[in-house]
Chains A and B, each alone.
Chain A
Amino acid sequence: EAEVAQSPRYKITEKSQAVAFWCDPISGHATLYWYRQILGQGPELLVQFQDESVVDDSQLPKDRFSAERLKGVDSTLKIQPAELGDSAMYLCASSLGDSRVEQYFGPGTRLTVT
């Protein structure tokens, strides 16, 4: 069964350090999303890609967060410098795109900033 892959699954880092997350969507899925989920809340979108292009990054804190999907397949989300408030689950999801909007999530990366 096709799945979204993410790594690492867990990351502990000190504040002010840089951290990066990787995501490989389901093969053939043109749309890729990065969400952040704080405990007790629903996921909130950080950035959405259509192929290699960013189509929505309105909620991405651009002073410290960056995301890329250079070849329109896998994607990297980076935080530099990390802050204590960044501790959360970072989720990647993908969908076929166009009218096929069902999104499938990867296992997520649990980030703890100390």
Chain B
Amino acid sequence: QKEVEQNSGPLSVPEGAIASLNCTYSDRVSQSFFWYRQYSGKSPELIMSIYSNGDKEDGRFTAQLNKASQYVSLLIRDSQPSDSATYLCASIPRRSGYSTLTFGKGTMLLVSP
């Protein structure tokens, strides 16, 4: 079982809608979670980090963490065509003792005008 799982998509939403991206992880003791946005041919860009249960909001983005269910999600409100990208979920497995990120394969989001 891969440590971080994401649906590869694509997830298609119309402009102005809420996009919901989901991620599950297998390492129960993981403490730190991140969402990166990656445009085609570009490098990952950090958009959200979350460390405790609950919601964390930043502009149009909300990250949600549920450690009991080992589930992380990213909500994008008022989706724009410029949000079309691959969204990578990542965690830092505590077992490693280091700060190495373990990534999922990413979910492609397509926002249609």
Contacts and interface: CB of A to CB of B under 8 A. Distances in A.
B34 A102 contact: yes
Nearest to B45: A105
> Interface centre among A35, A103, A106, by most B CB within 10 Å?
A103
Contact of A42 (B42, B90, B98): B90
Interface string B71-113: 0000000000000000010101000101111011110000000
Contact of B99 (A31, A41, A89, A110): A31
A48 interface: yes
A43 B34 contact: no
Contacts, number: 55
Contacts of A22: none
B103 A42 contact: yes
Contact of B100 (A45, A106, A107): A45
A48 to B, nearest CB: 6
A16 B41 CA distance: 26
> Which size bracket describes the interface of B in this complex?
20 to 34
Interface in B10-43: 32, 34, 36, 41-43
A31 B49 CA distance: 18
A101 B50 CA distance: 11
Contacts of B100: 33, 45, 48, 56
Interface residues of A, number: 25
Nearest to B88: A42
Contacts of A40: 8, 105
A44 interface: yes
Nearest to B96: A56
A42 B106 contact: yes
Given A105-B44, A105-B45, A56 B98 contact: yes
A104 interface: yes
Contacts of B92: 101
Interface of A: 31, 33, 35, 40-45, 48, 55-56, 89, 91, 95, 97, 101-108, 110
